[in-house]
Structure 1
Amino acid sequence: MKIALISEHASPLAVAGGVDSGGQNIYVANVARQLLEMGHEVDVFTRCDPALLPLISDMDGVRVIHVPAGPPKQLPKEQLLPFMDEFATFLIEFFQRERDPHQVMHANFFMSGLAALKVKKALGVPLVTTFHALGRVRRIHQGADDGFPDERFAIEDELVARSDIVVAECPQDEADLIEHYRADPSRIQIVPCGFDADEFRPIERAAAREALGWHQDEFTVLQLGRLVQRKGIDNVVRGVGILRQVFRASARLYVVGGNSDAPNELATPEIARLRGIAGECGVAEQTAFVGRRGRAQLRYFYSAADVFVTTPWYEPFGITPVEAMACGTPVIGADVGGIRYSVADGVTGFLVPPRDPVALAARLDQLRREPALARRMGEAGLARAQAEFTWQGVGAGLAQIYARAARLVPERAGVEQVGMPKRAAAGASFG
């Protein structure tokens, strides 16, 4: 098949870890690679932000098309909605010039979906949509801090109604689509995110710590990902503080991520806020901000840590817990969204309420006191990741969905029930 992956703000070529560069970038890059390995032809359409980018870049055989839409500079994704008409016009003209037509579009995020709907109307190309985050759910948790306009809700309503298939990333995502958007359950398919076994695998802890220059005998907590407030990193800092104050135990916290390779409060203002909280909690000296790191380095961090912690307010899926499990590290995660799906509570780690540093500290202390338990959880996490969350399985599941969407008659798509099982297709495996 010839497949168009549309990802307006999240380029597969971007370095993950910045404010608007995270799980979606990783998702699109890995899905594209898996589809290519399966023999499909793949184009990724993303907005041209730096002015000097070529129109088309090659990503190991995947074409990445930099769409001229809005000023050719980096902008927060919350400011991109006015440029989606321009984005859609480019897509339509590009599709029309292609000798071989695209057989299906996969829109990632609601703005990509808005542009894709215009393509579908003009050219009849079937549309699969993954939201990655839902506006109404985001508004519940972020309130006035949500920078997107209310018109996002109507756009998402239309996408849910008119997409041929909607991909949910976990059962909570599916439930939110049904509850908040009145989605037809028969047209929702659950396909999770994944990890690359060549990229993430266990390294012996002592060797990983030596490579990073970490102390061998410290109980070490890792937080890794985008440094934005909703990720709840302040909760992790406070949890480490309570571990010291209440449980009389010390831990070293490493925070990996940001908009620059060296930790920079100007480039990443969240670092300044978190440093202030660490000082208030008496753990400033135990909290190290590492900065952004390349994908090839991340398995050293996951493998070196005694425990990986992620406690966002909400999380549509969350790739980092799966990556940590793939490196054999136990995970303490917030009992929300996709983390509730990927982390098996009491087996591969623990689930704790978001914004509850006391509960987090108690679980940290338990893993500190019971290294054998932590080791068993790490082993169970590795097995679960390998069985349930590989990119190979994700790509296979999506390919089956694309094939089904491409067989739909465009005029009937979104009206009739597709009649598919809850997974991508009978016999589909995500391992």
Structure 2
Amino acid sequence: MRLMLITHSYLPERTPPQRRWTAFIRSFREAGWDVDVVAPPADHHAADAPSPQRLGETETGPWGERIHRTWSASAFPATRIGRFAGHIVNALGALPVGLAVDRPDVVVTTVPALPNAAAGWILSGARRAPLIVEMRDAWPDLAREAGVRAGVLSRAMESVVTGAQRAAQTVVTVTEGFADRLVSRGIGPVVTVGNGAELTAVHPLPPRQRAAGELHVLYLGNHGESQGLETVIHAAASVVGEGIQVRMVGSGTQRPRLVELNRALGSPVEMLDPVVAEQVQEHYDWADTCVVALRPDWESFHRTIPSKTFEILAVGRHITGVVVGEAAELLRRSGAADIAPADPEQLAQLWRRLAADPESTDTGGRGRTWAVQNADLSALGDRFVEIAETVVAEHRPIAAASAQKSLPRQWAANLALTATTVAEHLSDDPALLALQVSRRLPAAVRGPLAQFMARLDGGALQIPGAIGLAAAGRDEELTARAEGAAQRGEADRRLVHYADVLTSVGDVETAARLLDQVDARTAGRAAALARLDWHAGRMHEAVDRLSGAGREGRQRDRLGSELATFTGYRPRLAAMEGYSPRPRAALHVLNNSLPHTGSGYAQRTHAILTALRDAGWDVAAVTRLGWPVQTGTLWAAPVDTVDGIEYHRLLPPRLAAGHDARLQQQAELLLELVRDVRPAVLHTTTHFTNALIVQAVAEAVGIPWVYEVRGQLADTWASTRGPDALESDRYLLFTEREAEAARSADAVVTLGRSMQENLIRQGVDPQDIVLCPNAVGGVFLEEPTSREEARRRLGLDPELSYVGTVSSIVPYEGLDTLVRAVAQLAPGRPDLRLLLVGDGTALPGLIDLAERLGIRDRLIAPGRVDRGLSPDYHRSMDVFVVPRRNSDVTRSVTPLKPVEASASARPVIASDLPALAELVQDGVTGLLVPPEDPGRLATALGELLDDPDRARSMGEAGRRWAVTERTWAANATRYHELYLSLVPVEPGAGRA
């Protein structure tokens, strides 16, 4: 079996985690395991540290383990933020390294290096191996107690650590108290493998011979916030001149401050720099008693035992324990310690008592005996091996049950696909890549990380800081910072980078002004101008602007290939002879799907497929080329099965070069799948590239195809740009190709009357259009639980008032109008809360807006939630709000979530737009208000909040409408009848 260990410290460093895991790895190797250690190069302070290694460089450890190096972080300062930044760098480096090594049977990641939790979590998923999270400290509790709660990283740390703990097959702690705390939080299983000492390397010492009144006190270890070493220095100042000598050896974030305190008190402590292992023995020889300290005001330290405790016990030295809780109890049981409170005078009194009696620090070997019985790292390592073997044994049946054919080959292809995708984006638009990566992080991580990055400024940090501002939605600050850079005369190349970031957030005017100031010969300027043109829809201008050489040439080819798909390109496939479709078999060709996204698109698709299956159809689905790997799911399998529905993936190791070539590639791969699945009908959804592919395949095998128009994507694109977008190349070509796709299909499905009317205007035969509106099923058809019960399930205060939405958080949803409306109501309604459930590009800006309006404490934004929680979030609200902006897309496209809200018996307030008027009967199931009018929305909210009987009546009317007119079962009948009208009468006969 094979172990992958992710740690922040390993040989040749000399640290507690290194000593622990060097011993444990010996146990694994003796048990026959192969071991890969993923760790950064040794800290440059280590005496025998080699020169920094390159990323991925491999060496062999003392037990035959392979040590794979990540990036060095030695350039970061020895501060809390510096160490954390270093841990982030190490964890980022661990990802490509961990993906490159042989597949492990189990992944172990060690905390307190917090980003390691994320790296281990990701790698265990990517390598399909079980995860063991080792918690060497009580994180994230310690983060709060250390005051990190006041910083922007606290929520990110808690989310990462808690998420990894819950994802792990087993969590290992070093104390029983913290294990109990985790179990009380619903985390499990949790086992304890305490810290210890390598007894073969730690030799017991006889007590030092000393006279009465003499005492040598040693503190050897970390000088950080956790130890509260000010107490030791003040106690030492109290015993100056009494024959008691105090020595402190080590380093840490608080060392400079402690040195200054010691100097201010007259240097009562001999403060020495850290030493290597060979010199540690000299200090133990000198000492009569050794201090073990943890500050008592941090509650987590009641469940923490300093790792140095075990080495001191093994050496046989007496311990002065300035500890509480589990650590104090351990020292009492050892019979080799005296305990003092964290009070300088009482600590000084203990030392005076010990000094007076030379026999008081003679432990009689009791500490060594306790260590042999309880803290032998060799025996503890054997225990960890047993835990790992159990985890692997329990995981194998699960893995076998879900294993897909040729998964290792598929994962290798996924990695190759990811690498080429990242390389392509880095070349084309690195600023956009950075933003896209940040937006795919969990909301609890993304927000704090973006705020942290936004603080970066000056010199080379300006562009990372600009990306942070963009990710945080602080667009006005981004614009101001970019304009300031231009006014200061920053380098032209830096202004080009600013322009790229501005373009990625849609501030094209400022981007254009910056690029106008830049010398035309500046590297990257032409590419930035082309990106600006492309963003504005000036597709031909963007292509013409670029030269045919180097990076510009590659960008020109890429944009030109995409332009070709807008100007008439079609995939070409030879006819397949002898194709024989299976009766009542349908294959849906999709953009995305469950289980890798819970979007409304995916929910609608799954509801349709399950309803068709229940109606007697053999249905399956396949997602677009490269999905979901290109959006970050590295461990995607060739097929996912959800509720009995198979979702196939098209995941080649490499995508063809160019947008048009990729359409051809997807058509060829889809044809191979169709040959295997043998559907009688193909069914796809917007946009037109899907239609081009499906039409080519359908014609090749001679079966009908259906085009489902779920949105007007050209209008969606234009809605985030100015009015000129409606006259741009992209918009005009986009709308024409969409109309052409709909006219070419054998049948068209759409969601509402407004969209049906648009299709008719585009030349689609009304007889070919079938209306299948968004609907509900499953739990939404059940009698809804009470509002109070839903709130209790979600941890919401049942006594407060909640208004809000469950939605994709994107600009055209108009949620800024809702934030402003709640801000108007807030002063007179202290119990009012705004609940925004979902995620998207607009969320950071909404959080920032709430902050500026003074209602950040009223906003609850849990981010994207599990689809099983969606019904409770709907039911928890007093009023459900759909405040969409007024645009072509919102006037036509009907969303799913308000239908679910009505089914949940919630009154719905929506913008007065044609598409939403199909879903909300004004004054009956809810209220319609003018779009983009916070005042009118606030008035409507106030009316329903002040009249709960009216609100309840509207909710009940909405539920009656939803469960009688908007069910997936009813839609399945429409699909069933449509398919039967298209499929040949005789099963197995293809179309001419």
One-letter identity of the residue aligned with 2:690: S
Contact (CA 8 Å) 1:69, 1:87: kept in 2 or not?
no
Q: C-alpha separation between the residues in 1 aligned to 2:939 and 2:587?
A: 47
1:404 CA displacement = 1.2
Measure, in 1, the Cα distance between the counterparts of 2:660 and 2:614.
33
1:312 equivalent in structure 2: 884
- Residue 188 of structure 1: which of 742, 749, 769 is its match? 769
Question: Structure 2: how far apart are the matches of 1:357 and 1:62?
Answer: 43
% identical equivalent positions: 25
CA distance in 2, matches of 1:80, 1:382: 45
Quote the Cα distance in structure 1 between the aligned partners of 2:702 and 2:751.
Answer: 26
Query: In the alignment, which residue of structure 2 is the partner of 1:116?
Result: 694
Q: In 2, distance between residues paired with 1:402 and 1:6?
A: 15
Distance 1:162 1:105 in 2: 14
Question: Structure 1 residues 143, 410: CA separation in 2 closer, same or farther (over 3 Å shift)?
Answer: farther
Per-residue CA deviation, residues 55-98 of structure 1 (Å, 9 max, x unaligned), is 223223322110136868xxxxxx98863322211112222344
Pick closer, same or farther for the CA change 1:164–1:238 going to 2, 3 Å. same
| CA-CA distance at 1:405 after TM superposition | 2.2
**Which segment is superposed worse, 342-351 or 197-206?**
197-206
Q: 1:255 aligns with which of 812, 836, 841?
A: 836
Distance 1:222 1:324 in 2: 11
**In structure 2, which of residues 680, 685, 690 is the aligned counterpart of residue 103 of structure 1?**
680
Residues 207-228 of structure 1 show CA distances to partners (whole Å, capped at 9, x for unaligned) of: 1122222223322102211111
Cα distance in 2 between the residues matched to 1:272 and 1:407: 52
Residue 163, structure 1, aligned to residue 741, structure 2 = no
Q: Secondary structure at the match of 1:285?
A: helix
**1:392–1:80 distance in 2 versus 1, CA, 3 Å:** farther
Question: Counterpart of 1:5 in 2: which secondary structure?
Answer: strand
Matched, 1:5 2:582: no
The unaligned stretches of length 5 or more in structure 2 are: 1-583
Question: Hey, what's the Cα distance between the residues in 2 that align with 1:370 and 1:355?
Answer: 24
Distance 1:308 1:148 in 2: 38
State which drifts further: 80-89 or 230-239.
Answer: 80-89
Offset of residue 255 of structure 1: 0.9
Q: 1:304 to 1:80 in 2, by over 3 A?
A: farther
Counterpart amino acid of 2:912?
D
Distance 1:269 1:155, change over 3 A: closer
- 2:841 aligned with 1:274: no
1:206 aligns to 2:783 (yes or no): no
Q: Deviations over 1:130-149 (max 9, x none)?
A: 12111343355333589994
2:435 corresponds to: none
Check conservation: 1:227, 1:270, Cα contact below 8 A.
yes
Superposed CA deviations along residues 179-220 of structure 1, whole A, max 9, x for unmatched, are 3x2322221111111112325641111111222222233221
The offset of 1:233, in angstroms, is 1.4
8 Å contact kept, 1:367–1:373:
yes
Shift of 1:107: 0.7
* Residues 720 and 811, structure 2, Cα contact 8 Å, conserved in 1: no
Flag the 1:389–1:402 CA change in 2: closer, same or farther, 3 A. same
Name the SS of the counterpart of 1:57 in structure 2: strand
Structure 1 position 125, deviation (Å): 1.6
- TM value normalised by structure 1: 0.82
1:229 equivalenced with 2:811 (yes/no): yes
Comparing 332-341 with 343-352, greater Cα deviation is found at 332-341
Structure 2: distance between partners of 1:71 and 1:278: 44
* Residue aligning to 1:417: none
CA distance in 2, matches of 1:142, 1:40: 40
Moved more, 194-203 or 296-305: 194-203
CA spacing shift, 1:410–1:310, aligned 2, 3 Å: farther
Distance (Å, rounded) in 2 between the aligned partners of 1:368 and 1:65: 47
**C-alpha distance 182-281 of structure 1, shift in aligned 2 (>3 A):** farther
Number of equivalent positions: 386
Q: 1:121 corresponds to which letter in structure 2?
A: E
Larger Cα-atom Rg: 2
With a CA cutoff of 8 Å and minimum separation of 6, indicate the structure with the bigger relative contact order: 1
Q: 1:273 to 1:200 in 2, by over 3 A?
A: farther
Larger helix fraction of residues: 2
Residue 283 of structure 1: CA displacement?
1.8
In 1, Cα distance between equivalents of 2:729 and 2:604:
22
Distance 1:281 1:103 in 2: 56
Question: Residue type of the partner of 1:370?
Answer: D
1:269–1:131 distance in 2 versus 1, CA, 3 Å: closer
- RMSD between aligned alpha carbons? 2.7
What SS does structure 1 have at the residue aligned with 2:902? helix
Distance in structure 1 (CA, Å) of the matches to 2:797 and 2:882: 22
Where structure 1 has 5 or more consecutive residues not aligned to the other structure, the ranges are: 17-21, 73-78, 259-267, 413-431
Alpha-carbon distance change, 55 to 210 in structure 1, aligned in 2, over 3 angstroms: closer
Taking a change above 3 Å as real, the CA distance of residues 80 and 325 of structure 1, as seen in their structure-2 partners, is farther
Mapped partners of 1:214, 1:355: distance in 2:
29
The one-letter code sitting in structure 1 at the alignment partner of 2:884 is P
> 1:55: which partner in 2?
638
Q: Which residue pairs with 2:707 in the alignment? A: 129
Q: 1:342 aligns with which of 912, 919, 923?
A: 919
Whether 2:858 is the aligned partner of 1:286: answer: yes
Aligned to 1:160, what secondary structure does the other structure show? helix
Q: For residues 253 and 304 of structure 1, what CA distance do their matches in structure 2 show?
A: 12
Q: What letter corresponds to residue 87 of structure 1 in structure 2?
A: Q
Tell me whether 190-199 or 371-380 shows the greater mean CA deviation: 190-199
Task: Give the equivalent residue in structure 2 for 1:396.
Answer: 973
Residues 65-80 of structure 1 aligned to structure 2 (within 5 Å): 65-68=648-651
Alignment check: 8 A CA contact 2:984 2:991 kept: no
Match of 1:197 in 2: 778
Deviations 1:230-278 (Å, cap 9, x if unpaired)? 2211111112112236xx44521011112xxxxxxxxx55322101211
Equivalent pair of 1:221/1:309 in contact (CA under 8 Å): yes
Is 1:92 the counterpart of 2:699? The answer is: no
Q: Which amino acid in the other structure matches residue 792 of structure 2?
A: E
Counterparts of 1:229 and 1:137, CA distance in 2? 13
Which residue number in structure 1 is paired with residue 950 of structure 2? 373
Is the Cα–Cα contact under 8 Å of residues 780 and 903 in structure 2 kept in the other structure? no
Q: TM-score, normalised by structure 2?
A: 0.37
Partner AA of 1:304 in structure 2: S
1:424 equivalent in structure 2: none
Q: Contact between 1:13 and 1:29, CA under 8 Å: does it hold in 2?
A: no
Shift of 1:411: 7.7
